[in-house]
Structure 1
Amino acid sequence: MAEQTTNFVDTLRVDNTGKTRKKLKHQLPLGTRIRRAWRLYVLLAPALVWVIIFCYWPMYGVQIAFRDFSPATGLTGGPWVGLKHFVRFVTSYQFELVLKNTVILHMYELLVAFPVPIILALVLNAVRQKRFSRAVQLVTYAPNFISVVVVVGIMVMLLDPQAGVVNNLMGIAGIPTVNFMGEPGWFRHLFVFSGVWQTAGFSAIIYLAALSSVPPELHEAARVDGATRLRRMWHIDLPAIMPIAVILLVLNIGNILSVGFEKVLLMQNPLNLDVSQVIGTYVYQVGLEASIPQYSYATAIGFFNSVVGVVLLLIVNQMARRIAKAGLF
Structure 2
Amino acid sequence: MISIGLVFMFLFRYLPMGGLVIAFKQYSLRRGIMGSSWVGLENFQFIFTHNPDFPRIVRNTLKISLLRLIIGFPAPIILALMINEVRGAKFKKFIQTSVYLPYFVSWVVFGGIVIQFLNPSTGIVNKLIVALGHEAIPFMQEEKYFKAIVVLSDIWKNAGWGTILYISALTSIDQEIYDAAKIDGAGRFQTILHISIPGISSTVVVLLLLQIGSIMDVGFEQIYVLCRPILYGVGDVISTYVYRVGVGGGQFSMAAAVGLFQSLIGLILIVLANYICRKFFERSLW
TM range (shorter): over 0.9
Q: In 1, distance between residues paired with 2:65 and 2:19?
A: 28
Same amino acid, percent of matched pairs: 38
Among candidates 219, 227, 230, match of residue 260 of structure 1: 219
1:207 maps to amino acid: Y
Q: CA deviation at 1:164?
A: 2.1
Q: In 2, distance between residues paired with 1:245 and 1:268?
A: 31
Match of 1:45 in 2: 3
Matched, 1:249 2:208: yes
1:123 maps to amino acid: M
Q: In 2, distance between residues paired with 1:190 and 1:160?
A: 13
**Cα distance per residue 1:55-110 (max 9 Å; x no partner):** 11111111110011111111011121111111111122112111110000001011
Q: In 2, distance between residues paired with 1:48 and 1:95?
A: 36
Among candidates 139, 153, 158, match of residue 112 of structure 2: 153
2:12 maps to amino acid: F
Among candidates 10, 18, 31, match of residue 73 of structure 1: 31
Q: In 2, distance between residues paired with 1:223 and 1:116?
A: 27
Q: CA deviation at 1:113?
A: 1.2
Moved more, 43-52 or 260-269: 43-52
Q: In 1, distance between residues paired with 2:74 and 2:131?
A: 35
1:178 maps to amino acid: I
State how 1:17-166 maps to structure 2 within 5 Å: 43-91=1-49, 92-166=51-125
Q: In 1, distance between residues paired with 2:171 and 2:123?
A: 43
Match of 1:205 in 2: 164
Matched, 1:308 2:265: yes
Q: In 2, distance between residues paired with 1:276 and 1:121?
A: 30
Q: In 2, distance between residues paired with 1:266 and 1:142?
A: 20
Q: In 1, distance between residues paired with 2:81 and 2:115?
A: 33
Q: In 1, distance between residues paired with 2:163 and 2:122?
A: 35
Among candidates 166, 177, 180, match of residue 218 of structure 1: 177
TM-score, normalised to structure 1, is 0.84
Q: CA deviation at 1:167?
A: 2.2
Q: In 2, distance between residues paired with 1:210 and 1:147?
A: 27
Q: In 2, distance between residues paired with 1:302 and 1:232?
A: 45
TM-score, normalised to structure 2, is 0.96
Matched, 1:195 2:146: no
1:86 maps to amino acid: F
Secondary structure in 1 matching 2:31: coil
Across the two proteins, how many residue pairs are aligned to each other? Answer: 285
1:158 maps to amino acid: F
Q: Aligned-pair RMSD on alpha carbons?
A: 1.2
Secondary structure in 2 matching 1:327: coil
Among candidates 237, 246, 267, match of residue 287 of structure 1: 246
Match of 2:274 in 1: 317
| Structure 1 unmatched runs, 5+ | 1-42
Q: CA deviation at 1:225?
A: 1.2
Greater relative contact order: 1 or 2 (C-alpha under 8 angstroms, separation 6 or more)? 2
Match of 1:328 in 2: 285
Q: In 2, distance between residues paired with 1:321 and 1:274?
A: 38
| Structure 2 unmatched runs, 5+ | none
Moved more, 69-78 or 168-177: 168-177
